[in-house]
Amino acid sequence: MNYENILTTTQNGITTITINRPSKLNALNKATIEELHQALDTANTDKNTKVIIVTGSGEKAFVAGADISEFANFSVEKGGKLAAKGQEILFDFVENLSTPVIAAVNGFALGGGLELAMSAHFRVASDNAKMGLPEVSLGVIPGYGGTQRLPQLVGKGRAMELVMTAGMIDASTALNYGLVNHVVTQDELLPLAKKLASKIMRNSSVAIGKAIKAVNANYKDGVNGFSVEIEAFGACFGTEDFKEGTTAFLEKRKADFPGK
């Protein structure tokens, strides 16, 4: 599929999705959000894709925020619908994909950009990355999951400070906070993401999908994460991946998982 705002490539089991609006510092507008949904959905259902990497084009920005010009004149009702639709088709959608999603943060990740990175299953960053949620400086709050996922990742106190000051943190601080897992130079960023993806791909895609569901369950109100884990654990026993993994272990050979 041809996209106007993103680029996609699939190679060696990895689909790389690049947000490509360099003149706008890769800001998320409605069209880009919809294209990201389509590309992520396509990659998730593609049996050849085992890991998805999301990054931004150029050297300045991952995603420098939402495209404010699109909603500056919205009413209360339209604002609520904007957040609900965005969370449904992109941010919650990414978090709940069964295919692992790595955010490779190459520069500014602000507002909706940081919210997109936080919805990925984990994050790596270049040493020039800057992250923050500046929404309160515009008279609004983060509306794409930022007030929920940031405290989960860095703790309530740090999240409150970042949201209320509308400040930015650098990559080393983000690493210290646990917001990102690794920090490397910009040239090393995609190679690192692909190296991590290759480690993931050695394992069972089916089991990883169930693990994602179980981990996420702990953060959902009214859901018993332990019960979800038990159910998912049991379900693994009925899969071809389980048969192959245990057989390979007992035969002292490398497993060749069937995959999705």
Active site residue 135: yes
Average pLDDT over residues 85-99: 97
pTM for the predicted model, two decimal places: 0.96
Bridge-based pairing state of the strands 182-184 and 108-110: unpaired
CA-based nearest residue to 192, from 201, 200, 183: 183
Average pLDDT over residues 213-222: 94
Average pLDDT over residues 33-61: 96
pLDDT of residue 69: 83
Active site residue 115: yes
Average pLDDT over residues 22-43: 96
pLDDT for 258 beyond 90? no
Average pLDDT over residues 108-114: 97
**Cross-strand bridge partners of residue 9:** 16
| From 34, 59, 135, 188, the catalytic residue | 135
H/E segment holding residue 128: none
How does residue 1 score in pLDDT terms, banded at 50, 70 and 90? confident
Helices 240-250 and 205-217, axial angle in degrees (round to 10): 110
**Cross-strand bridge partners of residue 55:** 18, 104
Listed in sequence order, the residues at least 6 apart from 93 whose beta carbon sits closer than 8 Å to its beta carbon are: 37, 40, 41
| From 34, 88, 115, 188, the catalytic residue | 115
Q: Is the dihedral of CA 89, 100, 125, 174 positive or negative?
A: positive
77 conformational bin, left if phi > 0, alpha if psi -120 to 50, beta if neither: alpha
Distance (Å) of CA 1 to CA 19, 44, 101, 107: 15, 15, 20, 27
As a whole number of angstroms, the distance between CA 154 and CA 179 comes to: 6
Amino acid (one-letter) located at 49: T
